[in-house]
Every structure is written in C-alpha cells, then in structure tokens.
Amino acid sequence: MKNFAFIAKLLFGLAPLALFSCNSSQEVVTNDAVPALELQYIDSTVNPGDDFFQFVNGGWLKDNPVPDDKTSWGVFMF
C-alpha cells in the first residue's frame, strides 16, 4: 500500500512537468494542400455504373497509352 501511495504521489507530482514541456507557442508548418482526386483523368463520357474503371481512369489512359513494346504500363514506369 505504501508503494502504491508513493507511485501515485510521484505521478501526480510529475504530471505538471509533462504539461509544461508541451510548448504551444511552436509554429505549425503545413505543406500546400494536395488534391485527393485528379479530376482531369475522369472520363465523363462513360457512365460510372457501366464501367467504373474506365470512368475513373479513362482520361489517364487516353493521355498515357501503353507503348507498343510493352505489355503493361503504369504510373511508376515512366
């Protein structure tokens, strides 16, 4: 019981030190916002209910066709 009381007092006494170490006057640096969606790649001529993949990726596929010497092509293959 003495150990519990000692540990409780120790933690209660050290809590303000932890709070004082949190300096709220630090300047927060944020990066410019990055869009979550690339709207230019959406193919609005396709109904998303018919072919969602083509609807979402149709613009990118038109801008980046698979080269004749490749069997697949992707964003990381440039």
Output the DSSP codes for 3-47.
HHHHHHHHHHHHHHHHHHT--TTSPPP-PPP--S--GGG--TTS-
pLDDT of residue 78: 58
Longest dimension (CA), the chain: 79
pTM here is 0.47
Please indicate whether residue 3 or residue 59 has the higher confidence score (pLDDT).
59
pLDDT of residue 61: 87
